Amino acid sequence: MTYRLQGKICIVTGGGQGIGAAVADCFAREGASVVIAELDEAMGAAKACELAAQGVPSLFVHTDVAQAESVRVMVAAALVRFGRIDVLVNNAGINVFRDPLKTTADDWKLCMSVDLDGMWHCCQAALPAMLEGGGGSIINMASTQSFSIIPGCFPYPVAKHGVIGLTRALALEYAARGVRVNAIAPGYIETRRNIEYWNRFADPAAARQATCDALPPKRIGRPDEVGMTAVFLASDEAPFINASTIVIDGGRSIAYHD
Which residues are tagged catalytic?
Answer: 156
Sheet holding 87-90, edge to edge: 58-62, 33-38, 9-13, 87-90, 136-141, 179-186, 245-248
| DSSP designation for 31 | T
β-strand partners of 189: 221
How many beta carbons lie within 10 A of that of residue 144, not counting itself?
A: 20
- What's the rounded Cα separation, in Å, for the pair 217 and 179? 34
Beta carbons of 57 and 69 less than 8 angstroms apart: no
- What's the rounded Cα separation, in Å, for the pair 73 and 94? 21
- What's the rounded Cα separation, in Å, for the pair 137 and 130? 8
- What's the rounded Cα separation, in Å, for the pair 142 and 27? 19
